[in-house]
Amino acid sequence: MDKPRPVGQKNDKAAGTGFGPVLVLLVCILVVLSWGGPAGAEDLLDALEAGFMAQRQGRYEDAQEMYSKLIQAQVLEPRELTVVLMLRGETRMKRGDFEGAVEDLSQALNIRSSYIHALYLRGLALERLNRYQEALADLQRAVALRPDKETYQQDLSELKTRMALQGLLEKPKESGNDTAGPKPSP
């Protein structure tokens, strides 16, 4: 269960510390690359390890460089590529490059449309670009696909609140509070 955080404070999961399933997939990629893959696989393995460690240590420029090296090598399987694109998008977010993050996360989603964490992160990046309707669509879809993720729900709620305060989203009407007057009798 995710810990609650003060309103308006973004969580560290979007900032690169909530790796859970991504870590498992990265380990799988490391194993595949270490089992005599294509020429230069050891370099790719080193780039993946270096990128992951740099990201964990907050060295986002180094991480982005390593992930870019992996992507440019064009040897990753589609599932692996989606993870590396998501990680690079995440590092771009940390560096304030939200356009670049949206680009990477969109590429990941073009390969695997059900990649929920990429969808969630893209929603956060779109929000930072003031592209609220697109952000809303991504966060709503992420919550629909993972209703158990409190972080996703909280960020969606905060986005809706900000949008409503700016007049970009109507506040939902509460049931039973019909202000249209009395209903005609049958």
Q: Is the Cβ–Cβ distance between 127 and 159 less than 8 Å? A: yes
**Domain parsing of the chain, residue ranges:** 21-165
Distance in angstroms (rounded) separating the CA atoms of residues 151 and 2: 6
Query: Counting Cβ atoms within 10 Å, is residue 104 exposed (0-12), middle (13-18) or buried (19+)?
Result: buried
The pLDDT value recorded for residue 169 is: 80
The pLDDT value recorded for residue 182 is: 44
Q: Is the Cβ–Cβ distance between 142 and 122 less than 8 Å? A: no
Say what the pTM is.
Answer: 0.72
Tens of pLDDT, residue by residue, the chain (186 residues): 443 333 333 444 444 445 555 555 565 555 444 444 444 556 777 888 889 899 999 999 999 999 999 999 888 889 999 999 999 999 999 999 999 999 999 999 999 999 999 999 999 999 999 999 999 999 999 999 999 999 999 999 999 999 999 998 865 555 444 444 444 444
Specify the residue for token string 């230069």. 40
Distance in angstroms (rounded) separating the CA atoms of residues 82 and 71: 10
Q: Which token pair is 26? A: 């990265």
Checking 62-71 for CB contacts under 8 A at 24+ apart, the result is 63/87, 63/88, 63/91, 64/88, 64/91, 64/92, 64/95, 67/91, 69/44, 70/44
The pLDDT value recorded for residue 140 is: 98
The pLDDT value recorded for residue 28 is: 53
Helices (H), the chain: 20-34, 41-56, 60-73, 78-94, 98-111, 116-128, 132-145, 150-165
**Residue range 21-165, CATH number:** 1.25.40.10
**Half-sphere exposure of 131 toward its Cβ, with a 13 Å CA cutoff?**
14
The pLDDT value recorded for residue 84 is: 95
